[in-house]
Amino acid sequence: VNEARRPRSYEFAGLVRSAHQEMSTAQRLAGWHALRRRTLGHERRLRRWRLAGAGALLVALALTAGVVIGRSLASSPLKYSISAGEVGEGGQLRVDAAGGVLHFSDGSELRLGAALHGRLISVTHDGARLRLSDGEAEVSVVSRPNANWELVAGPYSVAVRGAHFEVAWHEREQTLRLSLRSGTVNVEGPLATDGITLYAGQVLTIRKPEGEIVVRDIGAPETPLPARAPRTELSWSELLTEGRFNAVVAQAEARGFSEVLSHANSADLAALADAARFSKNSAIAERALRAERARFPESAGAYDAAFLLGQLHEAKAPSGSEAESWYETYLSEAPAGAYAAEALGHKMLVVERRSRRAAIAIAREYLERFPDGAYEKNAQAILVPPQP
C-alpha cells in the first residue's frame, strides 16, 4: 500500500496486532483435540439425521402405498349376490315365485317382488343402477358418503343416497308409486321435469296418463280419480307433461280466460295454473288457482291451490303477510295434506324474514310435527341462532 495514499486508519493495525497475543502451541494442541471431538460429534449427529431421514422416507412411502392400495380397494365395484333368483345375461333379474333379494357388499339390499321385470344395469364402487320395467321392490340403500344409486322405474329416475322405500312401477297403467320410509330421494321424469324431492314419511304417486302427481303423507287417504272419457286430442295435463306450457296458456287464451275460469274442470284449471306458473305468468296462475278454490271448494285441488297461492305470493314478497295467510289457510284446511310440512316450513321462513322472535313459536310447532322435515335445520337455527 502506498504510504502517502494509505488511509489514516491503517495506523491502528500495528496497535491492534500488538494488543493481541498469537495462538500459543498449547492453544493449538488443545484446539485440535477439541475440534476432533466436535468433528466426531458432528458426524454422529449427521448419521443420526440420515437414519431419521431414511426412516421418515420409508414411513412416507408406506403411507403412500397404503393410500394407493386403499383408494384402489375403495374404487373397486360393490360385490352383489342374489337369493331366490338369479342375475342373468345383461344383468336381467329373474326372481322366484316368492320374490328374491339382491344383496350388496355395502349392506344395501333390494327385495324384489315376484312378478318383477328388471335389470341390473351397472355396479360401481359407490352404488348401482337398476331398471324396474314392471313390478314392485323394497329398496334399502345404506347411507354412505358419496353413495350414488339410481333406480330407473319406467320413464322415471329415482336418485338415492341413503334411504328405505317401496317402489312400484306399473307399465300398463303407467303409474309410479313410491313410499319413502326413511332418508330422502329425488324423482325426475315426465310431470316432474325439475325433480321432486321426497322426505321420510311421504308417498309419491304419479299417474302419467292423467297427468297427475300426488305427494301425501303415508297413511293419508288417496283421492280416487274420476273416470275419464277417451279423447282424441291431448289434454292440458298431457301438454303439461310434455313441457308445452305455452301451448296450454295459448289454448286457454284462445278459448277466452273468463270462459275457461268459469267452465273448465278442476284438472284443467290445475294444469292451466301449473302451465302459467312454469311459464312465469303469475297473474294467470293466480286467477286459475283462485277460480279452482272458488268453484271446487272442499276439494284436494282447492286445498293445494291455497298452498300454491302462498308460493306465488312468497316469490313476489318473501316476507309478505299474504303468503303467510295462504299457508295458514292451507294448514287449516288440510292439516295432514301433502304440502302440510312444506306449508308450515314456508310460513316459518316468511315470518322469520320479518322477525326471528315471531317465528320461534312456528319453529317449535314445526319441530314437534315434523322432527325429520326438510326445514328442521332452519327451525333449529331460529330457536338457537348460530353464534357469530
Partner 1 sequence: LQRREPWAAEAVWKRYAPSVYGLLARGLGRGAEPEALTQEVFLRSFTRIRSLEEPAALRSFVYSHAATVLRRELRRRWLRRFLSRNRRTVTSDEAKWLLDRPARLVLARLYDVLDQLSPSERVIFSLRQLEGLSYPELAEVLGKSVVVAKRKVARVSGRLEVLVRCDPLLDHYVAQPRLCEAERQEGA
Q: Residue from 10, 63, 222, 258 that binds partner 1 (CB under 8 A)? A: 10
- Considering the rule CB under 8 A, would residue 233 count as an interface residue with partner 1? no
Cα–Cα distance, 296 to 230 (Å, whole number): 23
Cβ burial of 15 (10 Å; 0-12, 13-18, 19+) is: exposed
Cα–Cα distance, 100 to 81 (Å, whole number): 11
Enumerate the β-bridge partners of residue 103.
81, 109
What is the β-pairing status of strands 85-87 and 92-95? antiparallel
Local structure of 231: helix, strand or coil: coil
Q: Residue from 3, 11, 89, 298 that binds partner 1 (CB under 8 A)? A: 11
User: Smaller CB distance to partner 1: residue 13 or 73?
Assistant: 13
User: Smaller CB distance to partner 1: residue 41 or 66?
Assistant: 41
Q: Residue from 2, 3, 4, 7 that binds partner 1 (CB under 8 A)? A: 7
What is the nearest approach in angstroms of partner 1 to the Cβ of residue 54? 20
What is the nearest approach in angstroms of partner 1 to the Cβ of residue 39? 6
What is the nearest approach in angstroms of partner 1 to the Cβ of residue 21? 8
**Restricting to residues 24-43, which ones interact with partner 1 according to CB under 8 A?**
27-28, 30-32, 34-35, 38-39, 42
Q: How many CB atoms lie within 10 A of CB 56?
A: 10
User: Smaller CB distance to partner 1: residue 16 or 97?
Assistant: 16
Say how far residue 12 (Cα) sits from the centre of its chain. 85
Give how far Cα 107 sits from Cα of 103, 221, 275, Å: 7, 34, 43
- The sign of the dihedral angle between the CA atoms of 161, 204, 289, 272 is positive
What is the nearest approach in angstroms of partner 1 to the Cβ of residue 9? 4
Residue ranges of the alpha helices (H) in the chain? 11-19, 25-74, 236-241, 245-255, 257-263, 266-278, 282-295, 300-316, 321-333, 340-354, 356-369, 376-383
Supply 352's cell numbers.
Answer: 322469520
- Helices 266-278 and 282-295: crossing angle in degrees, nearest 10, is 160
Sequence-distant (6+) residues with CB within 8 A of 344 are 327, 331, 362, 365, 366, 369, 370, 375
User: Smaller CB distance to partner 1: residue 46 or 56?
Assistant: 46
User: Smaller CB distance to partner 1: residue 24 or 122?
Assistant: 24
What is the nearest approach in angstroms of partner 1 to the Cβ of residue 14? 6
Q: Residue from 2, 3, 4, 17 that binds partner 1 (CB under 8 A)? A: 17
User: Smaller CB distance to partner 1: residue 49 or 86?
Assistant: 49
How many Cα atoms are found within 13 Å in the side-chain-facing hemisphere of 299?
Answer: 20
User: Smaller CB distance to partner 1: residue 29 or 61?
Assistant: 29
Q: Per residue in 370-387, is it b (16+ CB within 10 Å) or e — as a string?
A: beebebbebbeebeeeee
**Restricting to residues 42-81, which ones interact with partner 1 according to CB under 8 A?**
42
What is the nearest approach in angstroms of partner 1 to the Cβ of residue 49? 13
Q: Residue from 2, 3, 4, 22 that binds partner 1 (CB under 8 A)? A: 22
| Count, residues near partner 1 per rule CB under 8 A | 26
User: Smaller CB distance to partner 1: residue 27 or 92?
Assistant: 27
336: DSSP letter: T
233: DSSP letter: S
User: Smaller CB distance to partner 1: residue 42 or 71?
Assistant: 42
Q: Residue from 4, 13, 73, 229 that binds partner 1 (CB under 8 A)? A: 13
Q: Residue from 2, 4, 20, 98 that binds partner 1 (CB under 8 A)? A: 20
Q: With CB under 8 A as the contact rule, which of the stretches 20-28, 133-141, 326-334, 368-376 interacts with partner 1?
A: 20-28
User: Smaller CB distance to partner 1: residue 38 or 263?
Assistant: 38
What residue ranges bind partner 1 (CB under 8 A)?
A: 7-20, 22-23, 27-28, 30-32, 34-35, 38-39, 42
